[in-house]
Chains A and B, each alone.
Chain A
Amino acid sequence: MNALVFMIPLSILFLAGAAVAFFWAVDHEQFEDMDTPGLLPLDDSPDPSRGANE
């Protein structure tokens, strides 16, 4: 029972933290484009700005 008193508030705290993090991510355009970032690792050029100037 004592464990519950400690663990449950903790889990709710985590939950709230996750929700806040997610809201932040949505507002900072992390979910606007779900396709392109997945392709970027396939790109061999070392650095975007340098690749463009070469």
Chain B
Amino acid sequence: MCCEGCRAAAEWIEQLGLVDYYRLRTQLGQKPTVATLSVTADPWSRPENARHVVRDVGQGQREVLLSISGVRCSACVWLIERALGAMPGVVSVQVNSMSRRGRIVWRDGDTTLSDLLQILTRTGYTALPLDARGLDDVRRSESRDALKRLLVAGFGMMQAMMYATAVYVAGIDSLDPSTHELLRWLQLLVATPVVFYSARPFFSGAVRSLKLRRLGMDVPVAAAIAAVYVASLIETLRGTGAVYFDSISMFVFFLLAGRYLEMRARHRAGDLTDALARLTPPFADRCLEDGSLERVGVHELRVGDCVHIWEGGIVPADGALLSERCRVDEALLSGEAAPVTKKRDDRLIAGSVLEDGPVQLRVEGVGADTVLAGISALTNRAQTERPQLQRAGDQATARFVARVLALTAITIVGWCIFDPSRAFPAAVAVLVVSCPCAFALAVSAAITRALAVLARRGVLLVRPDAIQGLAECTDVVFDKTGTLTQSALALADVQTFNHASMDEAPYLAAVLARHSRHPIARAIAAALPDRCRTNVRDLTTHAGLGISAWLDGRELRLGRSDFASPGPGLAPDDDDAVLLADDAGVIAAFRLHEQLRPDADAAVEALRRQGLAIHIASGDSAARVSRIAARLRIADWRARLLPSHKLAWLTELRARGARVLAVGDGVNDAPVLAGAHVSIAMADGADLAHASSDIVLAEGRLIAIAPARAIAQQTLAIVHQNQRWALLYNFTAVPLAAFGLVPPWLAAIGMSLSSLGVILNALRIGGNDATSCIPRLARMSLSVTARAESA
């Protein structure tokens, strides 16, 4: 249990009889932050606000599409569906753990949108209703279409092969001509839907790239499918020679299967728009002339409006502070969790979290004019400008198919000169025997296998071509806060003065600290024992300074040195030091450090052993960055970098010829992640970081990076091996086919065997990976034992 929110949720979960969540989940949940807990669903009861997110589906039923953050695995999905499904009036609940979207239908009158959202918030998930236009989900129809096409191709392939086998087994010459004729027509019947329905994406893709005057991967594939199909069709109509409907069905099926897997990985990445929408609140409290507050949608805010923000709330728009002072968490911009103090007229940024309040704000920028929108624009631009790692496999295949088509043409011309009657069968045999299957599969089989092996190690590949980037990178740029270090501070050192007892002083500090939500206070309270003492009086929080309280007849102050002990004293001039003092002088000094992630040192060392140059790019102060850099023995670091500076440094590194792997977690890292050759985001980081990276590290295990790189290199090696192998096979088979020496059955078998060889070779990736399954098995058996004991 990590906090109060979790406990409440756990109790509630238990009350509902949903304890199984803890047994079924495969990933740890996300710790609730202040911001998520303070989100209320109330404003959605206002019809003006609900109108643009809810759709009327008839019969008094309403539908809403939610973007739900915090969904990690199927246990979350299960919990949400159960919790909402148990509410009266809810007709259907569907949550997709991959896209983190939920679709809820309810009967109007029995329940309301606010109720539904409140239940979700209590369960621990933050849901944001998406625009009603999003209900016609593009992704959903895309994945359904792909599945249907794949199935049609699979059915067609099986049937066509069955009929073809009958021909091959009986032998063409011994088969009754009418039966042979019948089997040809049957093959045509089952292969036609495969070509005209399943293979349509290849044809439309080919047309698209031809319009752009480019020779993409789809062009040769579509050409090969069309050529073999038309050739076989002519043979069927003429009633002579061999047909290859089985081969093209199989080709289409394998290609579609590869694309389907890639699409699933892409959908898992999450949507940039969803991630951005989650960063700003959907509502703001506008101050009216008479001093009352009106809750309006953020899109209704105009420049010059006065907005009221509650403590713990999220700033809805950019603007100037009207109140005296406040502290905001601008992790969004700087990546640092420590709050920044703002004075009157200072600029607040949309998406930052107010640590103490309430305050009022004069709106100066909304929508596209906010700094946040700027960051997302930067991210988008970096993504389009990123160096395109060539998809070597695709290109090799495209070149190869173009050559085969040329060779086919030569075969036809050649045979036309010597023996026109054999020209056609020989040309078709060349096409089939060299079928680019092995080539197309050489890449996709290896990548599919690598995806599975890496996922088992907690490295989730979002873009499959990241494998190449990962294998070939030369430099690693780490973000500091939240990536190399944990986001929470930890108490490093306690020093006492004036004969204060080492037993008493820390405990006094803890009593005070427990009453503040400041991250430093939280770190002190968490590190020191809780001995309950009630005679604390007049406890006051001084924003940006510290806490004071009366205890045992003296006033104690905990906070910055100039606040706790004014005037010259024993104040150490360390930024991170917090003093506890009374009027007699300083009692104790607490020094706080960021905690390195437990595996940071080993992970950096492993990457260094692989010959990579390591850098740190941080938004934090130089002193703190240098301390962390020294502990990890990293020589090249830069501090106080804004997102745009980070991107500039990255461009500089790239210009020097480095292939950069970026590792980060925050919103401020998003542009860097999007602009690097390949990027890794931490699973506990911001959604925007996930959406702009290639790889997500589950459970934030940095140590997984180095082995993942080794697996990526192995994958690339296997891809090259596969390609050489396919080339060798084709060099021997194609000339034989061109000279008319390959009978149709041998051509079909040759093609299948070459594909099979490629797939088997790909299965070698991560072959010595069996050990990594053991911890997981052990965990499972542990949970089973625990369950048996409790029962």
Contacts and interface: CB of A to CB of B under 8 A. Distances in A.
Interface of A: 1, 4, 8, 11-12, 15, 18-19, 22-23, 26-27, 29, 31-33, 35-36, 38-40, 42-45, 48-49, 51-54
B208 to A, nearest CB: 25
Contact of A15 (B144, B147, B159, B182): B159
Contact of B78 (A4, A22, A40): A40
B74 A33 contact: yes
Given A19-B152, A35-B74, A39-B75, A48 B24 contact: no
Nearest to B193: A19
A18 B155 contact: yes
13 contacts: A1-B176, A12-B190, A15-B155, A22-B151, A26-B144, A32-B96, A33-B74, A33-B97, A36-B74, A38-B74, A42-B24, A44-B20, A51-B82
Contacts of A23: 148
A1 B94 contact: no
Contacts of A15: 155, 159, 190
Contact of A54 (B17, B96, B148): B17
B77 A19 contact: no
A8 B96 contact: no
B24 A19 contact: no
B179 A26 contact: no
B288 interface: no
A52 B151 contact: no
B24 A4 contact: no
The list of the 9 closest CB pairs from A to B, nearest first, reads: A52-B86, A35-B74, A36-B74, A51-B17, A36-B77, A36-B78, A39-B24, A26-B144, A43-B20
Given A32-B94, A43-B24, 4 more contacts: A1-B176, A8-B186, A22-B151, A31-B144
B74 A39 contact: yes
B77 A48 contact: no
A43 B25 CA distance: 12
B409 interface: no
B741 interface: no
B151 A19 contact: yes
B81 A36 contact: yes
A11 B82 CA distance: 42
B774 to A, nearest CB: 22
Contacts of B82: 48, 51-52
A48 to B, nearest CB: 6
Contacts of B215: none
A32 B132 CA distance: 20
A35 B306 CA distance: 48
Contact of A4 (B95, B148, B182): B182
Interface residues of B, number: 34
Contacts of A52: 16-18, 82-83, 85-86
B231 interface: no
B749 interface: no
Interface in B105-155: 140, 144, 147-148, 151-152, 155
Contact of B86 (A27, A33, A44, A48): A48
A44 to B, nearest CB: 7
Contacts of B77: 33, 35-36
Given A42-B24, A48-B82, A48-B86, A35 B97 contact: yes
Contacts of A4: 179, 182
B20 A42 contact: yes
B73 interface: yes
Contacts of A29: 94
B746 interface: no
B189 interface: yes
Interface in B55-96: 73-75, 77-78, 81-83, 85-86, 94-96
A29 B137 CA distance: 13
Nearest to B264: A34
B20 A33 contact: no
A42 to B, nearest CB: 7
A16 to B, nearest CB: 9
A51 B86 CA distance: 9
A35 B73 contact: yes
Nearest to A19: B155
Contacts of B190: 12, 15
With most chain B CB atoms within 10 A of its CB, the pick from A11, A23, A33, A49 is A33
A48 B85 contact: yes
Nearest to B99: A32
Contacts of B18: 51-52
A23 B149 CA distance: 10
A44 B182 CA distance: 55
A24 B17 CA distance: 34
Nearest to A16: B155
Contacts of A31: 144, 147
B148 A26 contact: yes
Contacts of B74: 33, 35-36, 38-39
A23 B198 CA distance: 13
Contacts of B151: 19, 22
Given A8-B186, A33-B77, A45 B86 contact: no
A34 B85 CA distance: 19
Contacts of B86: 48-49, 52-53
A17 B77 CA distance: 32
Contacts of B75: 39
Contacts of A53: 86
A47 to B, nearest CB: 10
A42 B780 CA distance: 13
A42 B176 CA distance: 57
Nearest to B85: A48
Nearest to B144: A26
B20 A45 contact: yes
Nearest to A52: B86
A36 B82 CA distance: 11
Interface string B165-208: 00000000000100100100010011000000000000000000
Interface string B8-39: 00000000111010011000000000000000
A1 B170 CA distance: 14
Contacts of B155: 15, 18-19
B144 A1 contact: no
Nearest to A9: B186
A45 B14 CA distance: 12
Nearest to B77: A36
Contacts of A18: 155
Contact of A1 (B23, B97, B152, B179): B179
A9 B140 CA distance: 35
Interface string B528-561: 0000000000000000000000000000000000
Contacts of A11: 159
A38 to B, nearest CB: 8
Contacts of B144: 26-27, 31
Nearest to A53: B86
A11 B140 CA distance: 32
Contacts of A44: 20
A44 B73 CA distance: 20
A29 B143 CA distance: 11
A15 to B, nearest CB: 6
Nearest to A29: B94
B183 to A, nearest CB: 9
A1 B97 CA distance: 53
A20 to B, nearest CB: 11
